[in-house]
Amino acid sequence: MGFRAKREAALKIAVATVVLVCAGFAAAQEAAICEPVFGCGHARTMARVMLDEREDVPFAREAMGETDVLSYNLDIEVTNISTASGNCTLAGTNVITIKSKSAALTQFTFRLRNNFTITSALINGATPVSVSNPTTTTRVATLDRAYGMDEVFTLTIAYTGTTVSRGFGSIDVANQSGGSTAIVETLSEAYFAYTWWPAKDGDTFVPGDNSDKALVSLAVTVPSTFVVPSNGVLQGVDVLSGSRKRYRWASNYPIATYLVSFAATNYNTWSQTYNYPGGSMPVNFYIYPNSDSAGNRLAWEKCLTMLATYRGIYGEYPFVNEKYGIYQFNFGGGMEHQTITGEGTFDESVTAHELGHQWWGDMITCKTWSDIWLNEGFADYTECLWAERKTGALNSAAYFSAIQARKPSDVGQSVYVPAADTADMNRIFSQDTTYFKGGWVLHQLRHVVGDAMFFQILANYRAGFAYGAADTEDFKAAASATTGQDMSWFFQQWVYGIGAPAYQYGWQAVNVNGQNYLLARIAQTHTTAGYPSVFNAPVDLRATIGGTPTTYSAWNNARAEWYVIPTSGPVTALAFDPDQWILRTAASNVAYAPGPPKIISTVPAPGEAAASPSSVSVWFHTNVNATAANFTLVGDVTGPQSFSLASGSNVNPVVLNLPTALPTDNYTLTVTTGVTAVNSGQGLDGEVAVANSPASLPSGDGVSGGNAVIRFSAVTPVIPVAGDIDQSGSVNGTDLQLLIDVLLGVDTDAGHVARSDIDGNVLVDGDDVQAFVNLYPGF
């Protein structure tokens, strides 16, 4: 659900608060008990969540998984429409088709508020059964017999009553905003479908279970001047006696109960066509007459471009065989009813948000209200993707501007809503946490795994849960399976955990042994109780080198961490996380504080086959103090080697002088943490990922500790043999053929060319062939 804060909502809450104070508990039962939420651009409008629903008590019922609702066929009539009292009369029937998932199912629990009277309940259209009313909102039908596993039956509920609206306005009757014509409109999220139609649903103010989606047909009879938008495809409009019309809608896509909706008023309507590869789909619009302007029409019609844009991001619109539509209602923002969005605004971001919900919320629905971020965080992030891509070309500046506009001001709650907090609608639909922080979860995940992998995660998640329901663990599993990594750390940190990091950073540019380096220190400085002491994240460091920015990524997973990064030239400026990929509360630049020494190179280099070396040099990024005891050099065959240090005090490099050249063997050089930096006193940061790879240097994981282990080989020097062009150690016909190939220009290998110049005149010609024959007359 997207929304705009409404001042009248604040007034409703203020009035309700006065009622609570002045009228006592009885009046308080019919007063709002939640505070309003306001935000910059988006906020939840909270109204009329009642105490009586909170007083429902647990009762014995079958488990949600013991039944599978296959379809609802709902037929209702709306009469006695009163804007003065804000209600109407509903009368109708709902034929519920149910499959037993129990060996012996004897009851079926559904929800319908007790302001409605059930006039009949029939099994399979014929057998009357009794229905009890154990709580304000819940009914239990006692079945005519026990139904076995996978048996299918119908339960037809006929009911009538005067409506009572709950939540955000689950069934409201009012004048159109800015007009005098009545509108009847529904908005059932989160728990409140029971306020206007009987359906299987979870209890109010608990995490619930939205996974039992079903097909829905909805017929609504209204005064003939009214038009009714609803879910799915319009099957027909029946003209009835008494100046009435019946609108018949049906959907062949499964739908969650809170996404079923209708509205009824004197709409002006128009349609456009969404063309997609292989077909087309109608897009229908329903607008109040007093809002019907060319500008407002064009504003809503942006959804046509959005449909095409989202197709490239998320795959085809998930209900393309039916329709998409937007209808106007009085709620101050939007609501993503499946295939038919309600909007109380013509704001582009709301249209982008609600259309995004058709994938995230409608096609894949949050399994529980604890997982609501899978709906709202995804839709909020979709607004940013729309900003990035709406021109048809990637616009990174627009993307970063959009995500920054949605940065939460309060990071003190978890994106995942704890079960106890699902009793608080403001907590479920918290702008800062569910919407903004939820969107930032995706923003950060994109940076952690990279663009291609991020969008593949979304694709795999869609493929796994399309037209069903998913929870946070399901999305985490999709991310882990797609990346081939356990992503639990990320979800624990950003979804289940609370808080966000604050940073300090310092840097310095140095040149060591002719190579430029960027030295950086990153410290996490947040101290808020309950926050993790360390947040793991890749941090972008954007260095200016020769006037050109170059971005390096530093994996940060310690309270204070040091980095030595080889650069192509001297660094003259540094920006920390310049695009703000990390949800952070602060990032301040301070003077660089030196840290542990890191090994930047060795001679011989890791993995090198060196010709009988007589010394080993170890270069650090800074001067060190060391003793011979801080080093060992061991041959695989020849064993430990003796050596002495040329010097060990305030030196760089440290040189291990050998008494004789190393014999042919493979060697392991170990440097211990006893080597300390002169400027900081800290011990070696020595871990080397791959001992025989130069790419594993500089060493370390960012903090002091860890020995360095480096592997290299000593080999007997090869004495060049004139005419041994392939360096096989002998001269043969292969070498003569290589010489001829070089002479003819067939072989251009630099080594072959150099060794073919046998007479040393810097040219390869016939004289070299003659010189070869003179040396080896057998050829």
Helix (H, G, I), strand (E, B) or coil at 325: strand
Q: Residue 755: is its pLDDT beyond 50?
A: yes
Are the CB atoms for 658 and 613 separated by under 8 Å? Answer: yes
Q: Please report the pLDDT score of residue 2 as a whole number.
A: 66
Tokens of 480: 């882990």
Give tens-digit pLDDT for 614-657. 999 999 999 999 999 999 999 999 999 999 999 999 999 999 99
**Sequence-separated (6 or more) residues with CB below 8 Å from residue 451:** none
pLDDT-derived band at 57, boundaries 50, 70, 90:
low
Q: To the nearest whole percent, how much of the chain has pLDDT over 70? A: 92
Per-residue pLDDT band for 203 (boundaries 50, 70, 90) equals confident
CB 604 within 8 A of CB 618: no
pTM of the entire predicted model: 0.88
**Among all chains, which residue has been given the structure tokens 């080597």?**
675
Dihedral of alpha carbons 338, 344, 348, 353, sign? negative
Q: Tell me: the pLDDT tens digits for 434-469?
A: 999 999 999 999 999 999 999 999 999 999 999 999
Q: How far is CA 746 from CA 387, 737, 739, in A?
A: 55, 11, 10
DSSP structure string for 342-404: EES---HHHHHHHHHHTTBTTTEEESSGGGTHHHHHHHHHHHHHHHHHTTSS--HHHHHHHHH
Tokens standing for residue 47:
């109204």
Q: What would the mean pLDDT of 739-759 be, rounded to a whole number?
A: 88
Question: Taking 80 as the threshold, does the pLDDT of residue 15 lie above it?
Answer: no
Residue 55 has pLDDT above 80, yes or no: no
DSSP letters spanning 404-459: HHT--S---S-SS--GGGGG-HHHHT-IIIIIIIHHHHHHHHHHHH-HHHHHHHHH
Task: Please state, in angstroms and rounded to a whole number, the distance separating the CA atoms of residues 488 and 578.
Answer: 27
Is the CB of residue 322 less than 8 Å from the CB of residue 337?
Answer: no
Report the alpha-carbon distance of residue 561 to residue 555 in Å, rounded.
9
**Confidence check: pLDDT of 47 > 60:** no
The 10 Å Cβ neighbour count of residue 528 is 12
Partners of 110 in the beta sheet? Answer: 139
d(CA 269, CA 152) in angstroms, rounded, equals 40
- pLDDT of 718 reads 66
What are 649-687's pLDDT values in tens digits?
Answer: 999 999 999 999 999 999 999 999 999 999 999 999 999
Two tokens at 657? 């002088």
Provide the pLDDT for residue 19: 31
The predicted pLDDT at position 28 comes to 31
CB of 511 within 8 A of CB of 517?
yes
Mean local confidence (pLDDT), 506-525: 98
Cβ contact 365:260 at 8 Å: no
For tokens 């061991």, name the residue. 634
Q: What is the pLDDT of residues 170-187, one digit of tens each?
A: 999 999 998 899 999 999
**If DSSP codes are grouped into helix, strand and coil, which group holds residue 225?**
coil
Residue 12's beta-bridge partner residues?
A: none
Whether 712 has a pLDDT exceeding 80, the answer reads yes
Q: How big is the CA angle at 523 (ends 519 and 525), to the nearest 5 degrees?
A: 160
Cβ-based neighbour number of residue 648 at 10 Å: 18
Strand partners, 79: 89
Q: Return the SS3 of 475.
A: helix
DSSP state of 199: B
How many Cβ atoms sit within 10 Å of the Cβ of residue 358? Answer: 24
CA nearest to 326, candidates 309, 289, 348, 301: 301
